[in-house]
Structure 1
Amino acid sequence: MSERSSQDPLIESHTVEQVPHAERHGRARDLFTLWFSTNIAPLPIVTGAMVVQVFHLNLAWGLLAIVLGHCLGGVVIALSSAQGPRLGIPQMVQSRGQFGRFGALLIVFFAALIYVGFFISNIVLAGKSIHAMVEPISLPLGSLIGALAATAIGVLGYRFIHTLNRIGTWVMGGALLAGFAFVFSQPLPVDFLTRGGFTLAGFIATVSLGVIWQVSFSPYVSDYSRYLPSDIGIAKPFWATYAGATLGTILSFSFGAVVVLATPPGTEAMTAVEQATGVLGPVLMLLFLLNIISHNALNLYGAVLAIVTAVQTFIAHWTPSVKVRIVLSALVLSGCCVVAVGASGDFIQDFIGLILALLLVLVPWACINLIDFYLIKYGDYDIESIFAADGGQYGRFNWHAIIAYACGIAVQLPFANTALYVGPYAHLVEGADLSWLVGIVVTCPLFYCLATRKQQRAERLRAGYAK
């Protein structure tokens, strides 16, 4: 397994084309550090605090639901990550092999929208953090500083992102463990273990939140494993990604629940972090700011890859240069900064609500992606067809996948419980969005049946021609 050569360029030269086998390098454990470090951040901590503040679970039931949700959802992100070394192409490009060359465009659009949404939200969050720590720096200037730093990391690309997160694993992981230690070294409120209780709705809502959190990474997780050697197999990248993604989020969610229980009821989550960790509070807030910037580079990187994928759908033989990727990054940065600077005070909450609503389109896509890769094609895709102008053997549209995808979205709508839309059956379990579960139950068998029927028909035709 080759390591990075000293002659390798600092700025990544590849975009959406297949990474040549001669340029494959790295180790599976790099996936652990990437996804562990990425999830030691304010947003998962704030989300973890909801377990106590919104779903009213006590510490024991809350921790159990957190672990269960992320362990279940982690299977999706790990199976998606393990596809990268086998094919050497970004996740959205691979979707052409499932939906057809033009059929995949809708998925690419939704993925780009999610990337941009998170990028803008993190710009605003970084600006607020910088302004809070250095008051003379205005909120717009702080947002611009955070955006420029994330863009620089995103432009440098794959290798630098992995290097940064290897360092971040030790720094952020150590800081979070120190925060836990400080909280438990101090006198705890008398209701620390008894505040809240058990409700079925709260437990299911927390489990669902964990599953959805992990699934949200699946559209771009293999983008960060595609440089690994193709002979690395499935198991190593699977377990490295699974361990990193689940452990990082479980720790952050749990920390959010612990700090709000260690402070008076109703304390805002990040305020609770500062109050509960004492002298460590300012250090943690600074490290969280740095991690927001580092993590936001992944959003920009994914957005640029999605845009390139969309453009290349219509210009089959176009391979963008490093300069083109830099220009696209600058354009995305400019547009996002304009939105971020003019954002309202509750922008982050509103935009996250929009993004979570868009997850309705990710669940059926993830089902089709995994079923097709592992049960239909067994990882055997024709790369030339994926990049062919007419879609090659995958065609311009694969209607079996498109029909299953549309049905998967449609069956979720009656059960959806989002900021944009609440379905008529959304409150079967109060506070829990179970639409993802319905989407899985319908999409997986439907797509499998349609895909295998198509495969059997093709085999019968080939047999007929042979005779």
Structure 2
Amino acid sequence: MQQRPRLTESTTKIVTFERRHIRPIPVTERHGTTRGLFFVWLGINMLPLTVVTGALGPTVFGLSFGWTLVAIAIGNLIGGLGAALHASQGPTLGIPQMLQARGQFGYFGGSLLALIALVMFLGFFASNLVVASQSFAAIFDSDNINVGIIVCALIALVVAIFGYDLVRKMMAVFSVIIGIIVVVSIVITLSNPATFAATPELGYNTAGFFGMVAVGVTWQLAYAPYVSDYSRYMPADGGAKEAFWATYLGLVLGTVLVMVLGAIVGLHATDGDIMAALGGLLGGFGPLVLFAFGVASAVMNSSNIYSGVMCSLTVFETISEEIRINTRARVLMSVAYALLAMFGAIIGKDNFLVIFGDFVSMLLYVLIPWSAINLIDYFVLRKGEYSVGDMFERNGGRYGRWDVVGLVSYLIGIIVQIPFMVSTMYTGPMAEPLGFVDIAWLLGFAVPALVYGVWKRAKLGSTQREEGALV
């Protein structure tokens, strides 16, 4: 009969200060639970930024409330599968998500992908700072949100410095509080006769519908680079299945619920300030909702610092073998990371909706090929069999310094999307013939998955034959 891991210091304290960083989590410290993981991913979307994203349907894509809801549901259901599949890798390997990229791209090649993910975390952290500060500004009727940005950044930084344990517990608490507030807010707004009174220009358009579906897919896949940062604390035995369902249900339920509220608010947002529009729709209940959202965003934004720092440490470890990854390095990196994102939020706050829309579009194009390659390699080619120790060797061990197959396949995944891209920054030549329907991300997943799968399978087969001949 298998014995449960014994209680350790990490399971007896109310809050444990993290000391493992990017190193594998030992079996005796796998204190994660299905319920805890579910609330992490449910709570992580209880944010003002999720409201803003749901509002993109009416405000940017010109969709009616009904069509926005359909697009939100489809996009999140599809994207959630990818994020949950990545999460199921954590209990098996016990390491952060982007460090696993060394298995497909090599020791140094994996750091390039971690660097891309780092930029993503910075973008989301800065975006959350802006929207959280807009919530507080709407309450206090202030046009200056810089103070709010600074305060929210400091709160997130303190939580992130403690690490996984405090981040997880804080998100669990706020997921329940904000979840109740969101449900009440939806009931209030739907019962308001003015909610659907003046939106005759909104309806269905194919480009807008598929654009909003892509936003839903992107939103979920944006979590893929760090889902294993939390699921790695789940037990190795049976934890993969539990991690999949806890992540999938938490992400999809939390996102769809809050985006529905955003879709309602988007019908009334005329100046791009979604949170002010939300406060106006809710009347006397508005200040309480905006305050709760602002506080929740400040706290739960810590996950973007935490996982961004995991990527930073992965990158810095490859720069020089003299760099030591320890608690001091993690704390200093957290401070630098928070300051960088804070200044970015202050600089870009005036054009937030435009910048955020382009950020989401570009994020989809760069994440999709990585996700495809990782999933094909893990589930089809290697079936979860990796040498974690080799991933920490500077020569890459069996994975090498640079994996040409992975890097070239990723590059191909980016290139094939370029003619079909649709964004305000760049629109490809094939977009107009297709009615500006964004199908780039579909090609960005299918093509690199096929190229990598066929090429890598042949290479692995050749290596196995050579080893057999030597024996």
Q: Same fold (TM over 0.5)?
A: yes
Aligned to 1:70: 76
Match status 1:332 vs 2:315? no
AA aligned opposite 2:244: F
Deviation at 1:198, TM superposition (A): 2.7
AA aligned opposite 1:295: M
SS of residue matched to 1:5? helix
Conserved 8 A contact 2:138-2:276? no
Aligned to 2:279: 274
AA aligned opposite 1:398: D
Aligned to 2:406: 401
Match status 1:453 vs 2:455? no
Deviations 1:12-63 (A, max 9, x none): 1111111111111121222221111111222221221222233333333322
Deviation at 1:390, TM superposition (A): 0.6
**How far, CA to CA, are the matches of 2:462 and 2:113 in structure 1?**
27
Tell which deviates more after alignment, 44-53 or 219-228.
44-53
Aligned to 1:25: 31
SS of residue matched to 2:441? helix
Match status 1:79 vs 2:81? no
Conserved 8 A contact 2:54-2:259? yes
Aligned to 1:129: 135
Show the 5 A alignment for 1:360-379: 360-379=365-384
Conserved 8 A contact 2:133-2:152? yes
Change (3 A) 1:51 1:9: closer
Aligned to 1:388: 393
Deviation at 1:212, TM superposition (A): 1.4
Deviation at 1:364, TM superposition (A): 0.4
AA aligned opposite 1:313: T
AA aligned opposite 2:261: F
Tell which deviates more after alignment, 79-88 or 430-439.
430-439
Tell which deviates more after alignment, 301-310 or 272-281.
272-281
Aligned to 2:146: 140
Aligned to 1:286: 291
AA aligned opposite 2:407: I
Show the 5 A alignment for 1:222-371: 222-261=228-267, 263=268, 269-316=274-321, 319-343=324-348, 345-347=350-352, 349-350=354-355, 353-354=358-359, 356-371=361-376
Deviations 1:332-390 (A, max 9, x none): 22333344444451156325524531432211000011111111111111011111111
Aligned to 1:205: 211
Deviation at 1:135, TM superposition (A): 5.8
Q: CA RMSD in A?
A: 2.4
AA aligned opposite 2:361: L
Show the 5 A alignment for 1:95-244: 95-134=101-140, 139-188=145-194, 191=197, 196-244=202-250
Tell which deviates more after alignment, 307-316 or 62-71.
307-316
AA aligned opposite 1:15: H
Deviation at 1:412, TM superposition (A): 0.7
AA aligned opposite 1:155: I
Change (3 A) 1:380 1:190: closer
**How far, CA to CA, are the matches of 1:35 and 1:339 in structure 2?**
26
**Structure 2 unaligned spans of 5+:** none
Deviation at 1:79, TM superposition (A): 0.4
Change (3 A) 1:428 1:15: farther
Conserved 8 A contact 1:66-1:250? yes
SS of residue matched to 1:40? coil
SS of residue matched to 2:225? coil
AA aligned opposite 1:399: V
**How far, CA to CA, are the matches of 1:201 and 1:419 in structure 2?**
14
**How far, CA to CA, are the matches of 2:197 and 2:436 in structure 1?**
24
**How far, CA to CA, are the matches of 1:167 and 1:89 in structure 2?**
25
Match of 2:431 among 407, 426, 430: 426
Aligned to 1:14: 20
AA aligned opposite 1:185: S
Conserved 8 A contact 1:130-1:137? no
**How far, CA to CA, are the matches of 1:9 and 1:285 in structure 2?**
28
Deviation at 1:192, TM superposition (A): 7.6
Deviation at 1:113, TM superposition (A): 1.3
Deviation at 1:449, TM superposition (A): 0.1
Query: Aligned residues, how many?
Result: 465
Deviation at 1:419, TM superposition (A): 3.5
Deviation at 1:254, TM superposition (A): 1.3
Conserved 8 A contact 1:408-1:443? yes
Deviation at 1:443, TM superposition (A): 1.1
Deviation at 1:172, TM superposition (A): 0.8
Tell which deviates more after alignment, 144-153 or 418-427.
418-427
Change (3 A) 1:180 1:244: same
Aligned to 1:45: 51
Q: What fraction of aligned residue pairs are identical, expressed as a percent?
A: 33
AA aligned opposite 1:173: G
**How far, CA to CA, are the matches of 1:449 and 1:390 in structure 2?**
25
**How far, CA to CA, are the matches of 2:203 and 2:28 in structure 1?**
56
SS of residue matched to 2:417? helix
AA aligned opposite 1:379: G
TM-score (norm 1): 0.92
Deviations 1:239-284 (A, max 9, x none): 11111111111112211222344x5888853233122222221111
